[in-house]
């Protein structure tokens, strides 16, 4: 067995912002590690910068996004402040191999996978090639970058329309296009490449068969430096709009146990094959006949890691840090002696509360939060970094305000608990998706466990706000707004939930 070498961290820089920065600060503090934060000039008064032991402004000449992508500036801050390691969070530089190499050259530990694994699994094309080597099923299409219209047309004809164009280095639904016919292909091909170039600095795309109405299932894995890999069960992330997740839950009981076990085995085998270290997520699509296909690996912490933590009791962020310090999974510090040591207890749901207007194609809203009241109670967890009374919501960053996470013994119980919590939440001054989230959790499709990736677009009633006459009058009297006649297709000008 490889010799165990431990290097304890005293100070860690978190190269991120918002709720994930706060989440990592807390995990580090609980491990007795001092935290260093960074922030753009636009984030000078943001909540997250007040939650760290030290905070330093990034290059003020850089734009709000570019500031967090400035590798040289971040490394210089880390070196000047005596940082032992950097945690990248998610987004920004979290999947950038150049950032990992810069950390290595500076003698600073990167809390994540090694650079060679980042190259192989952070790229959707190369990760598919790794899956093929392991006999893990992938969606019919190509396993290489496509740069010409002629080639993409030929592949589309071979696998059959509709097809999906995807950015090789993409994520969050960007650089993705569904193409239904040969006539649509030229325009969509150009737009997919342009978006990929703008969002990720790389216009490589690939094409694969588009699966209609699949479930989106992902498996959380942890790997240490000594070749040990375990899975922390699965999550169902099928409730999406424009390929971006809205509600997630664990475990993924919506797929049969037999298929889930196969997916677990493939996820662990593929992770071991590439020598994966730290926390990672392997994503799969499962069709109506329960055929499953690997689509990508996210070599970082996921936004929805919370539901896995709730059902397993494992702090994934702390595990990331301990793994990078050199602790094996079966050490007392991490406490995972074997796969059989991990159990899924009950069910957990995560709701992403955003400043988006569902009635206006989920257009993000901006402004000042005049009122913010959060929910509480048994089995409710909040992960946030933006929402508080007086907060200025800018157009520069992700629209996520807070994540509400519920945990209970049964799926029915956790759904009721999540509904109760979201109804307690009060946010004024900006539009939010709260009424929409309530409708999702109260829909028949959700409660039957039958949501697929097209659930939102095929369920228009999710966008309806249904009010009883007495309740509508009470709301109108409280807020002082005139009730809008919804039968004419208008959206009420007030929050449908009475404080």
Task: Indicate which residues carry an active-site annotation.
Answer: 245
- In angstroms, the first-to-last Cα distance of the chain is 60
Contacts of the segment 473-481: beta carbons below 8 A, 24+ positions apart:
474/498
CB hemisphere CA count around 178 (13 angstroms):
9
Max CA separation in the chain (angstroms):
72
Strands 371-373, 426-428: pairing is: antiparallel
**Spatial distance between the Cα atoms of 90 and 301, rounded to a whole number of angstroms:** 6
DSSP result, 106-142: TT-EESSS-HHHHHHHSSHHHHHHHHHHTT--B-SB-
Cα(279)–Cα(107) distance, rounded to whole angstroms?
21
Cα–chain center distance at 185: 29
Contacts of 487 (CB under 8 A, 6+ apart): none
3-state secondary structure of 402: strand
The span from the CA of 258 to the CA of 86, in Å, is 39
Phi and psi torsions of 336, nearest 5°: -110, 95
């Amino acid at each position: 067995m490889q010799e165990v070498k431990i290097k304890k961290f005293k100070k860690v820089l978190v190269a991120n912002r918002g709720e994930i920065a706060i989440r990592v600060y807390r995990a580090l503090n609980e491990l007795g590690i001092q935290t260093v934060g960074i922030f753009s000039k636009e984030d000078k008064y943001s909540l997250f910068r007040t939650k760290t032991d030290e905070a330093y402004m990034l290059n003020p000449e850089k734009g709000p996004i570019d500031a967090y992508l400035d590798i040289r500036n971040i490394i210089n801050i880390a070196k000047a402040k005596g940082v032992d390691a950097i945690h990248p969070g998610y987004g920004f530089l979290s999947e950038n191999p150049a950032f990992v190499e810069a950390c290595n050259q500076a003698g600073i530990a990167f809390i994540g996978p090694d650079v060679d694994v980042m190259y192989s699994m952070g790229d959707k094309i190369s990760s598919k090639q790794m899956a093929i080597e392991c006999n893990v099923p992938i969606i019919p299409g190509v396993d290489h970058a496509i740069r010409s219209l002629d080639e993409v047309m030929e592949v589309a004809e071979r696998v059959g329309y509709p097809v999906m164009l995807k950015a090789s280095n993409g994520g969050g639904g960007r650089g993705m296009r569904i193409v239904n016919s040969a006539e649509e292909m030229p325009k969509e091909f150009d737009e997919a490449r342009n978006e990929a170039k703008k969002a990720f600095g790389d216009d490589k795309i690939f094409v694969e068969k588009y699966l209609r109405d699949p479930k989106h299932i992902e498996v959380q894995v942890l790997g240490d430096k000594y070749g040990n890999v375990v899975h922390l069960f699965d999550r169902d992330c099928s409730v999406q709009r424009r390929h971006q997740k809205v509600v997630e839950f664990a475990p993924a009981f919506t797929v049969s146990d037999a298929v889930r076990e196969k997916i677990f085995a493939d996820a662990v085998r593929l992770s071991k094959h590439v020598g994966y270290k730290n926390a990672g997520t392997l994503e799969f699509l499962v069709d109506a006949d329960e055929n499953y296909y690997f689509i990508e690996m996210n070599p970082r912490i996921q936004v929805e890691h919370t539901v896995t933590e709730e059902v397993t009791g494992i702090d994934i962020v702390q595990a990331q840090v301990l793994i990078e310090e050199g602790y094996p999974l079966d050490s007392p510090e991490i406490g995972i002696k074997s796969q059989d040591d991990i159990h899924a207890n009950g069910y957990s749901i995560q709701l992403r509360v955003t400043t988006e207007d569902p009635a206006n194609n989920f257009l993000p809203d901006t402004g000042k939060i005049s009122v913010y009241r959060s929910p509480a109670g048994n089995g409710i967890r909040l992960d946030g970094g933006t929402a508080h009374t007086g907060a200025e919501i800018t157009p520069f960053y992700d629209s996520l305000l807070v994540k509400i996470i519920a945990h209970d013994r049964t799926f029915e119980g956790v759904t009721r608990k999540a509904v109760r919590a979201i109804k307690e939440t009060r946010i004024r001054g900006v539009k939010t998706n709260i009424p929409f989230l309530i409708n999702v959790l109260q829909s028949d499709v959700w409660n039957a466990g039958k949501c697929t990736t097209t659930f939102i677009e095929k369920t228009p009633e999710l966008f309806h706000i249904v009010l009883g006459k007495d309740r509508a009058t009470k709301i109108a009297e409280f807020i002082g707004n005139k009730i809008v006649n919804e039968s004419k297709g208008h959206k009420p000008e007030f929050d449908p939930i009475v404080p």
